[in-house]
Amino acid sequence: MTHSPRKRFGQNFLTDQTVLHEIIRAIAPSADDLMVEIGPGQGALTALLLQALTALHAVELDRDLVRLLQKKFSPDRLILHSGDALQFDFGSLVASGRSLRIVGNLPYNISSPLLFHLARFVSQVRDQHFMLQKEVVERMVAEPGSKDYGRLSVMLQWRYQMELLFVVPPAAFDPPPKVDSAIVRMIPVAAPLDCEQHKLERVVTKAFSQRRKVIRNCLADLFTEAQLIQAGIDPKARPETVGLEPYVRLARLL
């Protein structure tokens, strides 16, 4: 049974065996890990994961691929969840005393919303290893002051330690995407800075809505100049030069 990649699902299947084995080395699966793969596709990474794992959960939207995977793998080894990862309750997989390890080649067209959805389950997660568009990973790990630093950087760095592990060229996929990909490791921060997520989201979204303006002007609707100074921010600073902690202090002031 063969499957033609579907553009509407953002399907680019990783086929390069060298890259697949490099990903496995980065993940380092152990037999009793509670692991879930997002978008297993035709099962190239799945097969290698199952060489190490007793069982693996997988979330797949494409019903044709679900049927293909059901034929390839035993149901007691690969536990398939047919549905949209953006709607899936990852917390439902968590067993007592065991935290989730999440892996996947995330579709480029939903990568940011999916990362924010997964952040809801961060307290139940041990680590995450994802293949994403290189440009997205660069934004995730960007430091203040760089052109890539923005809303995604702040919101994810609040909850995760992240590292770009290696770059994957288009030739490693079928069909080849038009951009480079990268593998990112995401480890939940043990004690994130205390603030309410929706307040931080509001501050950061507003701050980065007009990057060329100084932060005083971007946040004029929410804070006085005195409040910015109280949070340790120069009112004339650009939003992309302000680190995570000052944004958290602003969120607490809301």
For 117-139, how does the pLDDT look when each residue is reduced to its tens digit (9 = 90+)? 999 999 999 999 999 999 999 99
The residue with tokens 């309410």 is 196
Q: How far apart are CA 218 and CA 240, in angstroms?
A: 12
Q: Compute the distance between CA of residue 71 and CA of residue 132 in angstroms, rounded to an integer.
A: 28
79: β partners: 57
pLDDT score, position 12: 84
Which whole-number Å values give the CA distances from 76 to 33, 56, 199, 237, in the listed order?
15, 9, 43, 56
Q: Which tens digit of pLDDT belongs to each residue from 44-58? A: 999 999 999 999 999
User: Which pLDDT belongs to residue 11?
Assistant: 65
Residue with token string 């899936």: 88
Q: Which amino acid is at 153?
A: S
User: What is the band of 228 on the pLDDT scale with cuts at 50, 70, 90?
Assistant: very high
Q: Tokens 């990909």 identify what position?
A: 181
Q: Is 73 within 8 Å of 3 (Cβ atoms)?
A: no
User: What are the tens digits of pLDDT across the range 27-45?
Assistant: 999 999 999 999 999 999 9
Query: From CA 194, how far away is CA 228, in angstroms rounded?
Result: 18
Alpha helices (runs of H) in 119-196, residue ranges in sequence order: 134-141, 151-159
Q: Is the pLDDT of residue 1 over 60?
A: no
Q: Could you give the 3-state DSSP secondary structure of residue 121?
A: helix
Q: What is the rounded CA–CA span in Å between residue 68 and residue 143?
A: 42
Mean pLDDT to the nearest integer, 212-227: 96
Predicted TM-score (pTM) of this structure: 0.93
Closest CA to 69 of 94, 45, 34: 45
| Partner residues linked to 82 by β-bridges | 60
pLDDT of residue 7: 47
